[in-house]
Structure 1
Amino acid sequence: MNSTYGIRNLTRRAALVVAAGAATFVLAACGGDGGDKSGSGHDAHASASESAGAEATSGAHNAQDVSFAQGMIPHHRQALEMARLAEGRTTSGAVKDLAARIEKAQDPEIKTMTGWLKAWGEDAPGSGKDMDHSASGHSGMPGMMGGEDMAGLEKLTGRAFDTQFLTLMVEHHEGAVKMADVEKSKGRYGPAKAMAGDIVTAQNAEIGEMNKLLGKSRG
């Protein structure tokens, strides 16, 4: 009796262990399925996001975006040329600081816009001698200085330079703001429209700053 009972007891325990193991396996399998489904959904979402991001980066530009970049590059380059004239000509710390900030902000933007044009298979305005030709070719753009203005600015120093530099740069900035406003309203490429917004904000602030400096110099 005891021997038989012991065998039955062992058999029952073994059955319970097997059942418990089976239950654990089922739960693990269910958990795994749930994890796989969640992972699959996440992967699908990530894939869709990557696809959307690639589409936003690669395409989504129009003729206005191209025109904005091709026009703003020589416009910025002329601003840099003007800003670099300040070194050795101005005696104003405020003008030196402003010129340095203009150069720091606009030089990277030129490189960015050049990259866009190359990615779009469009011609990018050159630099150096090509820059002078490009600038003269875009003299009809808002705020662009003519050759006589630039030559006259080069000959000035001190207070006379500061007054002429600020006067011309205000006009130049106002032209850039007009060009950027057109891009904001008619452009399609997100990064270009964002840059246009930054240009409007930054250059409007500098216009206010320069007008204050002109007021002091004229006072």
Structure 2
Amino acid sequence: MGGGGQPPMMGSGAMPGMAGMQMMHAMTDRTFLTMMIPHHESAIRMSRAILKTTRDPQVKAWATAIVAEQQREITQMQGLLKGLGGPATGMDAGMMTMEGMMPASGPRSTNPDVAFVQEMIPHHGMAVMMATHLLMQTTNPVMQKLGRDIITAQTDEIYAFQQFLNTVR
């Protein structure tokens, strides 16, 4: 320990205290929320688009559920984000819209229902990765539950989507 009971200096600054640690975790929470809201909005747009054309009852059920669940989560995340001071700043437009962050995938089906499911798998996969990162960083129990809920719901849907694709290929 340094003089006066202070923690030793590390690098160019002092070790963060409790307030600093809380601020670092809040920034992680803010960043997650700032990025996840447009990510969910993208899934809602994709789902609303397929709802206009699909005749497949399973695809219709999935798209309807995605719209309802992710809109509910957006509302929750907007409230949480407001409590954290609003969206994180300094993020470029590509980051905010998740452009370029989707994993590369193979050719898409010409069947719109199958293409929707094929597109939702990597989309959900990205949300799972983001939520997993959140769980590794946050100490906020509300954010931990949100991250776990996203992981659970979207991995369950990825599994169901894969099973669907196994039957239509």
Q: TM-score range by the shorter chain?
A: 0.7 to 0.9
Partner SS state of residue 86, structure 1: helix
* 5+ long unaligned stretches in structure 1: 1-58, 126-132, 145-152
> How far apart, in 2, do the equivalents of 1:182 and 1:142 lie?
16
The equivalent of 1:214 in structure 2 is 165
The equivalent of 1:107 in structure 2 is 71
Say yes or no: does 1:74 pair with 2:38: yes
The equivalent of 1:40 in structure 2 is none
- Relative to the length of structure 1, the TM-score reads 0.58
Q: How far did 1:188 drift?
A: 2.3
> How far apart, in 1, do the equivalents of 2:101 and 2:83 lie?
24
Instruction: Specify which of 189, 204, 208 is matched with residue 155 of structure 2.
Output: 204
Q: Cα 1:104–1:124, aligned 2, differ >3 Å: closer, same or farther?
A: farther
Q: How far did 1:116 drift?
A: 1.3
> How far apart, in 2, do the equivalents of 1:115 and 1:82 lie?
24
- Relative to the length of structure 2, the TM-score reads 0.74
> How far apart, in 2, do the equivalents of 1:209 and 1:137 lie?
26
Which digits, 9 at most, give the CA deviation of each residue in 1:144-199, with x for residues without a partner? 9xxxxxxxx9xx9xx71011100000110011000000011111221111110001
Instruction: Specify which of 85, 91, 108 is matched with residue 49 of structure 2.
Output: 85
The equivalent of 2:129 in structure 1 is 178
Q: Cα 1:166–1:107, aligned 2, differ >3 Å: closer, same or farther?
A: same
Q: How far did 1:135 drift?
A: 7.4
Say yes or no: does 1:96 pair with 2:60: yes
Instruction: Specify which of 139, 148, 155 is matched with residue 99 of structure 2.
Output: 139
The equivalent of 2:8 in structure 1 is none
The equivalent of 2:9 in structure 1 is none
Q: Cα 1:161–1:135, aligned 2, differ >3 Å: closer, same or farther?
A: farther
Say yes or no: does 1:168 pair with 2:119: yes
Among all aligned residue pairs of Structure 1 and Structure 2, give the percentage whose two residues are the same amino acid: 32
| Letter of the structure 1 residue corresponding to residue 66 of structure 2 | I
Mean Cα deviation higher: 204-213 or 112-121: 112-121
Q: How far did 1:86 drift?
A: 1.5
Q: How far did 1:124 drift?
A: 7.2
> How far apart, in 1, do the equivalents of 2:58 and 2:95 lie?
27
Corresponding pairs, count? 141
Which digits, 9 at most, give the CA deviation of each residue in 1:48-77, with x for residues without a partner? xxxxxxxxxxx7852111111011000000
Q: Is the 8 A contact 2:94 2:100 kept in 1?
A: no
Q: Is the 8 A contact 1:181 1:200 kept in 2?
A: yes
